[in-house]
Amino acid sequence: MGGTSLMISPKILAINPGSTSTKIAFFEGDRESWRETQRYDIDVLKRFSGIIEQENFRLEEIKRSLRAHGTKLEEVDAFVGRGGLLHPIPAGTYAINDLMLEEMRACKYGVHASNLGAILAHNLAKEAGDKPCFIVDPVVVDELCDEARISGFPEIERKSIFHALNQKATARRAAEEMGKKYEETRLIVAHLGGGISVGAHLYGRVVDVNNALDGEGPFSPERAGTLPVGQLVNYCYSGKCTLEEMQKKLVGQGGLVAHLGTNDAREVEKRIAEGDVKAELVYNAMAYQVAKTIAEYLAVLSGQVDGIIITGSIAYSNKFVDMVTKRVSFIAPIFIYPGEDEMLALAQGALRVLTGEEEAKTYAY
């Protein structure tokens, strides 16, 4: 990959692939010049056997978008992609390397749309003239404390898989609002999206967090969350469904989808407003589980918490946020940051390296 010389206001292209879309944003320094969300028709995606097979298709779509915005590939100084499922790693900005690309392509640690982030960023960087390319705070960021790794079943160690990019970015933002450095704060961050992750941030490290991809934590619009394990085991052996069906029931078709047939929190609120009692109970239960998980981390942080951050798209809902905050506002001041700004977080991660504030880390496992 190209060397990284110090730059004042580098032009950065950030790429964030989701399961049915790719978000692209172009920055000069940390100022966004344009952004686009490319949404793909489900019938078009069906032509591909999996996420990785969509590489060339998405690449061409990104180039089309660059042309439409009058941005030449060669004028981009650096490329940054959302990182996917890799070996567990500390937080930070990583230079994209061959090992990472190989593992993402092979889906060695699992299939996730963000596996394409590094692959797309690398392709574009090469074509632009071997420019620097990075991933930032991928979903496998692992800063768990030793105790948090231990489950009561020695064959199974707890893992850290969560919305690291947005959790870290919003934690930094709250710290700044408090006039402190992120590394000086004790925070609890709840990311409420299609998946839900709640993390305990102790002086800049996420020392405990629910594994949002693997049946831990609150249930979410699409995921089942923590389940009574004995009943789960019995269900798995009941012959009622195959392994693949079970995996889908836990991630993708769990949570609100399983109870109410929709993953859309806005639709659920509409039904509640129309008097749907079941929708109300399930939605209340999701908020109850989020609040309960936040309160668990009060103990992780020994009762000293500077702030609770509520973020992700469901944080746009005053109704849901109120249901959570009424149970946890006794703990610490609440910061509400609706949505996520993963694009800015990606650009800022690249920028910290390009301006010399941080050194790019090397992925080597």
Ligand X SMILES: Nc1ncnc2c1ncn2[C@@H]1O[C@H](COP(=O)(O)OP(=O)(O)OP(=O)(O)O)[C@@H](O)[C@H]1O
Residues in the site for ligand X, rule: CB under 6 A?
Answer: 193-195, 221, 263-266, 312-314, 316-317
**Which H or E run contains 197?**
strand 196-202
- Kindly state the smallest distance separating residue 164's Cβ from ligand BUA, in Å: 8
Nearest residue to ligand BUA by CB is 195
The distance in angstroms from the start CA to the end CA of the chain is 19
Q: How far is Cα 131 from Cα 230, in angstroms, rounded to an integer?
A: 52
Binding positions for ligand BUA, rule: CB under 6 A? 139, 161-163, 195, 212-213
Q: Confirm if 124 and 24 have CB atoms less than 8 A apart.
A: no
d(CA 23, CA 45): 16
**Of 58 and 163, which has the nearer Cβ to ligand BUA?**
163
Q: Which residue, 15 or 314, has its beta carbon nearer to ligand X?
A: 314
Q: Is the dihedral of CA 172, 220, 275, 339 positive or negative?
A: positive
Q: Which does 162 bind (CB under 5 to 8 A by kind): ligand BUA, ligand X, none?
A: ligand BUA
Question: Considering the complex, what minimum distance in angstroms separates the CB of residue 211 from ligand BUA?
Answer: 8
Give, as one character, the DSSP assignment of residue 78.
Answer: E
Shortest Å distance, C-beta 193 to ligand X: 2
Nearer to ligand BUA (CB atom), residue 24 or residue 196: 196
Query: CB of 191: closest distance to ligand BUA in angstroms?
Result: 8
Nearer to ligand X, 253 or 313 (CB): 313
Give min distance, CB of 213 to ligand BUA, in A.
5
Shorter beta-carbon distance to ligand X: residue 10 or 84: 84
Q: How far is the CB of 47 from ligand X (least distance, A)?
A: 22
Closest CA to 126 of 168, 81, 91, 88: 81
313 binds, among ligand X, ligand BUA, none (CB under 5 to 8 A by kind): ligand X
Per partner kind, with CB cut-offs from 5 to 8 A, the member of ligand BUA, ligand X, none near residue 213 is ligand BUA
How far is the CA of 142 from the CAs of 159, 197, 205, in angstroms? 8, 14, 9
CB of 186 to ligand X, least distance (A): 24
Cβ-based neighbour number of residue 90 at 10 Å: 11
- The residue sitting closest to ligand X, measured at its beta carbon, is 193
202 binds, among ligand X, ligand BUA, none (CB under 5 to 8 A by kind): none
Q: Which is nearer to ligand X, 21 or 71 (CB)?
A: 21
Residue 175 vs 213, nearer CB to ligand X: 213
Strand order in the sheet with 78-82: 31-39, 21-28, 11-17, 78-82, 133-136, 93-95, 361-362
Which token pair is 233?
């085991």
Q: Measuring CA to CA, which residue among 326, 260, 271, 254 is closest to residue 295?
A: 326
Closer CB to ligand X, 195 or 199, in the complex:
195
Q: Which residue(s) pair with 22 in the sheet?
A: 17, 38
Residue 139: which of ligand X, ligand BUA, none does it interact with, CB under 5 to 8 A by kind? ligand BUA
CA distance 217 to 286: 10
Paired residues of 71 in beta bridges: none
Contact in structure between 204 and 313 (CB atoms under 8 Å):
no
How far apart are CB 34 and ligand BUA at their closest, in Å? Answer: 25
